[in-house]
Homo-oligomer: A and B are copies of this chain.
Amino acid sequence: MPSPTRKKRAAAGPQFDLAAYLDRAVPFVDQGLDRLLPPARTKPRTLHEAMRYSIFAGGKRLRPVLCLAAAEACRGDWEAALPLACAVECVHTYSLIHDDLPAMDDDDLRRGKPTNHKVYGEGVAILAGDALVTHAFELVAGSLGWARYNHQALVGELAHAAGSLQLIAGQVADLEGEGAQLSRAELKYIHERKTSALLCCSVRLGGMSANCRPGELKALTDFGYHVGLAFQVIDDILDVTQSTEKLGKTAGKDEAVAKATYPSLVGMEASRAIARRLTRRAFRALESFPKKRAAALHALAEYLLNRDH
């Protein structure tokens, strides 16, 4: 009997070619970021080079691509979603730069390259992160704005997801949880904030850029929330099972700093089952969309479940 994942894949249409989709979407995002960030030669050069160093360090562009795919699911187009997709990627990159600092996770390697502070020093790395999160809001301000979702709604959306109750709350709880014995509820609290909040925000902003209906926004929220949680469970699994080379970041880190993870709490097999269950919930959230329009979102969620790095 095929696994539920495979069944759903068939339901979404086996003909969806995610590799071809990413071959179009990723360069589209890359070009957008290149156009929407200040050029590297802008004064002060060190700062703008540092911002671009991490933005163009080979990220998978998962969040911006989810944003574009969500726009598509709601009859929107990539061009209108692009500033919001880039804003989310700026927030994501800033959070990685700051997380990698010696005062936080103290990581030397990210996406197979030296981390920002290793190249530019801690001071500039902190400021490059600061500049990226600030630029994210400038990008949202520079977006079109839509009938149902004006700039007030868009900025509020991003600020909330990136703020002290979500993304940053997750990072603080993660930091404080090191070496502590966490319950599953506490671990879920961290994952919801550290990972799910910005992923969810990415698809919501995509939907908003298509001036989506309230019901569609609700479905996207549900989808983003579950994909985000599944993403983090898989991340924790890969930290155990994969090599530093494969991941492009230091493997085995969680165990080294005694970080609570799903594998450490419930074991590897149960963690895999949880990730699959969360992904099925994400699939279910897409059922209200016509299959073809949501095919990219569906394929992305499946890809994230089965990825090996």
Interface residues of A (CB under 8 A from B): 38, 42-44, 46-48, 51, 94, 98, 101-104, 121-127, 129-131, 133-135, 137-138, 140-142, 145, 150-153, 155-156, 158-160, 162-165, 168-169, 171-173, 175-176
Establish whether residues B48 and A164, one from each chain, have CB atoms under 8 Å apart when the complex forms.
Answer: yes
Contacts of A137 in B (CB 8 A): 137, 155, 158-159
Could you say which of B47, B104, B121 contacts A126, with CB atoms under 8 Å apart? B104
Known: A124-B175, A152-B141. A134 touches B46 (CB 8 A): no
Contacts of A94 in B (CB 8 A): 130
For the complex of A and B, list the 9 residue pairs with the smallest distance between their C-beta atoms, beginning with the closest.
A103-B122, A138-B159, A131-B164, A141-B156, A141-B155, A151-B152, A151-B151, A103-B123, A44-B172
Smallest CB separation, A190 vs chain B (Å): 10
CA–CA, A152 and B48, complex, Å: 24
Smallest CB separation, A4 vs chain B (Å): 35
Number of copies: 2
Contacts of A142 in B (CB 8 A): 156
Establish whether residues B175 and A163, one from each chain, have CB atoms under 8 Å apart when the complex forms.
Answer: no
Contacts of A124 in B (CB 8 A): 172, 175
Contacts of A43 in B (CB 8 A): 169, 173
Known: A152-B141, A156-B141. A172 touches B98 (CB 8 A): no
CA–CA, A155 and B154, complex, Å: 11
Q: SS class of chain A's interface: helix, strand, loop or mixed?
A: helix
Contacts of A125 in B (CB 8 A): 103
Could you say which of B130, B151, B168 contacts A155, with CB atoms under 8 Å apart? B151
Interchain Cβ contacts under 8 Å between A and B, 29 examples: A38-B164, A42-B165, A43-B173, A44-B176, A98-B130, A101-B122, A103-B122, A103-B125, A129-B130, A130-B133, A130-B168, A131-B168, A133-B134, A134-B163, A137-B137, A137-B155, A137-B159, A138-B155, A138-B156, A140-B155, A141-B151, A141-B156, A141-B159, A145-B152, A150-B150, A150-B151, A151-B151, A151-B152, A155-B155
CA–CA, A40 and B126, complex, Å: 25
Known: A46-B176, A104-B126, A150-B151. A134 touches B168 (CB 8 A): yes
Given A133-B134, A150-B150: 16 more A-B contacts, CB < 8 Å: A43-B169, A46-B176, A102-B122, A103-B122, A104-B126, A131-B164, A135-B159, A135-B164, A137-B155, A137-B159, A138-B163, A141-B151, A145-B152, A150-B151, A151-B152, A155-B155
CA–CA, A218 and B304, complex, Å: 51
Establish whether residues B133 and A104, one from each chain, have CB atoms under 8 Å apart when the complex forms.
Answer: no
Establish whether residues B44 and A173, one from each chain, have CB atoms under 8 Å apart when the complex forms.
Answer: yes
Establish whether residues B151 and A123, one from each chain, have CB atoms under 8 Å apart when the complex forms.
Answer: no
Contacts of A42 in B (CB 8 A): 164-165
